[in-house]
Amino acid sequence: MKKQTLYHIAVLVLFLFFGSLTASAHPEFLMTVQVPFDFQVNEKLLPAGKYEIQRDPQNPRILVIQNPEQKIWVTFHTIPHSLSKKPAQTSLLFTEYCAKRFLSEVKVLGREDGFALTKSKAERRLAQIEKATPIHAIGALRALGALGAIPNIDTTNN
């Protein structure tokens, strides 16, 4: 009887342990945004479209950008940095060189830190040829369970 009770307790502990691992492995949703132009993340060219951006809770420096409709899924490392003030809106920042746009930073409404991307080899090469043109792209933060349309991002230069 004692062996059987110990066995059930051990199995219960294992289920609780492995259940908590899988529950914590779900990415943290940051935003959904409609990007009206092709852009690059690291060395990967992504077409215009609707993207979800998520953060890995086990490694906060890793973000995931995905477009399930086009079956696109890219992970990338970021450099978290403190912002001087919390952003008023969730936004993606792009940098343009020679008519090619690169995702350079992710800012999230209500967070005191931003996520900067390191420049890819292609972006560093183009930066030597042409001066960067920053493009401020405002996206919509859509909380889990929120309803409504996702507005397009504003691509006016700031």
* pLDDT tens track for 81-99: 888 877 777 888 999 998 8
Residue labelled with tokens 């998520």 = 54
Would you give the end-to-end CA distance of the chain in angstroms? Answer: 73
SS3 86: coil
Task: With respect to residue 146, please indicate whether it lies within any of the assigned structural domains.
Answer: no
Task: With respect to residue 147, please indicate whether it lies within any of the assigned structural domains.
Answer: no
* Domain tally, the chain: 1
Task: With respect to residue 71, please indicate whether it lies within any of the assigned structural domains.
Answer: yes
**Domain of residue 62, residue span:** 27-138
What is the mean pLDDT of each successive set of 10 residues along the chain, which is 158 residues long? 63 52 60 90 92 87 90 91 80 90 88 88 91 70 34 42
Task: With respect to residue 8, please indicate whether it lies within any of the assigned structural domains.
Answer: no
Task: With respect to residue 92, please indicate whether it lies within any of the assigned structural domains.
Answer: yes
Distance between CA atoms of residues 82 and 68, nearest Å: 31
**Count of CB atoms within 10 A of residue 33's CB?**
25
Give the pTM: 0.70
Task: Give the DSSP letter string of 111-147.
Answer: -SEEEEEPPPHHHHHHHHHS--EEEEEE-B---TT--
